[in-house]
Amino acid sequence: MLASLLPGLRDVRTPLAVGYLWLLFLWLALGRQLPLDRNALGGRAWDLYRFFGQGTFVAAISFIAFLLGSIVTVRSNSFSRLWMRATGKQDLDPEGKLFQFIVDTLEIKGIDVSGFAAMTDSLFPVEDLRARLLVANQEMYGEYDRLESEAVFRINIAPPLFAVSLAVILQSGANWWTSILFALVALLVVAILVAQGQGKNSLATEVLTQSILSGVIEHPIIVDRVTVEESKRDTERQHEVRALKSKHNRDLRAEALQTLTQSHERLRKVEVDLALTPKDDAEKRRSLVLEKSGLRKAVARAEESLNALFEAG
């Protein structure tokens, strides 16, 4: 049961913590400027606090913090791209690993990969891969989600934490060297949090990448290309089958027409022979009559078969 609750708790933790820190910063920066007389905003807030009680007040502040945090929280992969551009570590980009894997997979399946790079906008669609991994392997997805949540938490609390530190420095009235020292310490803490967050994000990204490379999930580009190629091949096979059927039908029509022509010629010859046979040659005439009857049936069958073949196309 705890395992099922952890993902939900992770989703709440980051926006709530970020929202609380930004509210603390606003209170430190603007708290003294709030008018506290009874008819002003601060006085009315104090009246609400006394009327509803401490528990309701804390719940309301928590809701506002969660709402604010949900608005300003960013995904770690969005920050990761900015980090790689700023640090020049483009070699950590997972798209570099996936490109050759996708090309090799498509070539093995016999799919043309010419112009592949120009047609691909993104080789790492995170949301799509997350959904596929959740369906395919929940244990691996749980590890990915843990690392991703840790990365999002560290990256997003860094800015408001630094802002709170600056507000404390400005409000403390300390001398300049103490303020500089405190600011440097705060900056160092923020840098450590950001570096840790980027490290967690790299590990989470590696989990998604390895899930593709090991065959746990299929990359959507491979799925789409294979689907299109299979549809194209099915269409080509259908055209080939129709062409073979059409050729076979033409051959059958030609054969039926030849049979019909031969039957007509034989029938006319039998009729001529019957007309020239003397009436006193009863045995020969009976043989010709039977043959004539059989030929007429054969002609009728050939005509019927030929008509059916023409109707079938």
Query: What residue segments make up the domains of the chain, in order of their start?
Result: 1-73, 76-218, 240-311
The two tokens of residue 2 are 């705890």
Give the span between the Cα atoms of 199 and 193, in whole angstroms. 10
CB under 8 Å to 65, separation ≥6 — which residues? 15, 16, 19, 20, 22, 23
d(CA 132, CA 77): 17
Which pLDDT does position 272 carry in this prediction?
76
pLDDT for the residue 89 = 54
| Whole-number pLDDT of residue 160 | 93
Note down pLDDT in tens along the chain; length 313 residues.
445 555 667 788 899 999 999 999 988 888 666 555 555 555 566 666 666 667 777 888 889 899 999 998 887 766 666 655 555 554 445 566 677 777 777 777 777 666 555 444 467 777 888 888 888 888 898 899 899 999 999 999 999 999 999 888 888 777 888 888 988 999 999 999 988 998 888 888 888 888 888 888 888 887 877 787 778 777 777 777 777 677 777 777 777 777 778 877 877 887 777 677 777 777 777 787 787 788 778 778 777 776 776 666 6
Stated pTM of the model:
0.65
Angle of CA points 129, 132, 138, to nearest 5° = 110
- Count CB atoms within 10 A of the CB of residue 275: 8
The reported pLDDT for the residue numbered 119 is 46
What distance in Å separates the CA atoms of residue 126 and residue 111, rounded to the nearest whole number?
25
* Confidence at residue 171, expressed as pLDDT on a 0 to 100 scale: 81
pLDDT value at residue 83: 57
Distance of CA 5 to the CA centre of its chain: 26
Burial of 29: CB neighbours in 10 Å, binned 0-12, 13-18, 19+: middle
CA distances from 304 to 195, 291, 296, 297, 310 (A): 85, 20, 12, 11, 10
pLDDT at 154: 92
What pLDDT is attached to residue 190? 92
